[in-house]
Amino acid sequence: MLNSDEVKRLALAVGFDACGIARAEALTDEEYPLHEWIARGWHGDLAYMERNADKRLDPRLLVPGARSVICCVSAYGSPDPDRTDGVAAYAQHREYHKVVKDMLYDLRQRLGIEAKVCCDTVPISDKHWAARAGLGRIGRHTLLITPQWGTWVNLGELVTTEECTAYDSALPASHPQLATCGTCHCCVDACPNGAIAHDGPPMIDVRRCTAYYTTHHSRPLPPDVDAHGYTLGCDLCQLACPHNRLNR
Ligand code: SF4
Ligand code: SF4
């Protein structure tokens, strides 16, 4: 049995900015409308999203017997206004996979447990688990918004069969710093390609999203997708989000 307070203390000690712990149970369609997204074809040619859909929704299929998902946040800050190379904020500061994974390996070692280290490349949805663990909520632009750092965060998890003494839960829709999107559509309006669903569950049509093409260079940018000067990723919907204006 892991002491949850101690897990969080150690997460901060290895360099993370926040940590939450969720029970390893299936995400609901409301939390993560993965099946609807795939049914719409909005995942483009990301066939791996279809192949591992069940694992993405239930970490017990990823790690048999999993009881806990220890979710960690590493904040990287808003984009450097002096950069003119079209590189999005997440790639301006560091190679985040290595940074986050190294901290997770360190945390796992300090806890002395067996756990699967997850950061982007494992079939588990980092942002939806962070939301489940009460670290923020998913905005209309489909990114995790944290109360402290907006969307300028990297995420990673340890999935383990260990039980924890206490679990966190998703933030309420009426959270004082982080009310749900409501009538705001700033990100929808800011996207030059109409990639973000105007209503309904948060969803992006990746076939219309610059980042889909610029982070996978094997996909040429179609003439009707406006990269707006970005060469790697795209920050437009994040820059438009009021939660980020408060956190710049
Ligand atoms: S990253 Fe850019 S292209 Fe993709 S949804 Fe956001 S604003 Fe639109
Ligand atoms: S810009 Fe507005 S609608 Fe989009 S995620 Fe932020 S708060 Fe929600």
Cα–Cα distance for residue pair 46/8, rounded to 1 Å: 34
Domain range for 125:
4-160
Say which ligand is closest to the CA of 228: 1
In a shared domain, residues 150 and 190? no
Domain count along the chain? 2
Nearest CA to ligand 2 atom 4: 187
Residue 178 lies in a domain: no
Residue 167 lies in a domain: no
Among candidate residues 160, 195, 229, the one where a domain is terminated: 160
In a shared domain, residues 193 and 154? no
Least confident of 2-11, 19-28, 93-102: 93-102
Q: What pLDDT is recorded for position 94?
A: 81
Q: What pLDDT is recorded for position 177?
A: 77
In a shared domain, residues 65 and 118? yes
In a shared domain, residues 202 and 131? no
In a shared domain, residues 86 and 156? yes
- State what percent of residues in the chain have pLDDT above 70: 99
In a shared domain, residues 113 and 217? no
In a shared domain, residues 29 and 111? yes
Q: For residue 246, is pLDDT > 70?
A: no
Residue 137 lies in a domain: yes
In a shared domain, residues 110 and 230? no
Burial 119-149 (b: 16+ CB within 10 A, else e): beebbbbbbbbbbbbbbbbbbbbbbbbbbeb
SS3 164: strand
Say which ligand is closest to the CA of 143: 2
CATH number at residue 222: 3.30.70
Q: How far is the CA of 92 from the centre of ligand 1 (A)?
A: 17
pLDDT tens string 167-209: 999 998 888 777 789 899 999 999 999 999 999 999 999 999 9
Q: Tokens representing 103?
A: 């901290």
Least confident of 63-77, 126-140, 154-168, 169-183: 169-183
List the helix and strand counts (H, then E) for the chain.
12, 6
Are the C-beta atoms of 76 and 23 separated by less than 8 Å?
no
pLDDT tens string 7-37: 999 999 999 999 999 999 999 999 999 999 9
Residues identified as active-site: 120
In a shared domain, residues 198 and 105? no
In a shared domain, residues 81 and 156? yes
Helices (DSSP H) in the chain: which residue ranges? 4-13, 34-40, 47-51, 53-57, 59-62, 89-92, 96-111, 126-132, 186-190, 210-214, 236-240, 242-245
Per the prediction, the chain carries an average pLDDT of: 94
**In 10 A of CB 16, how many CB atoms?**
24
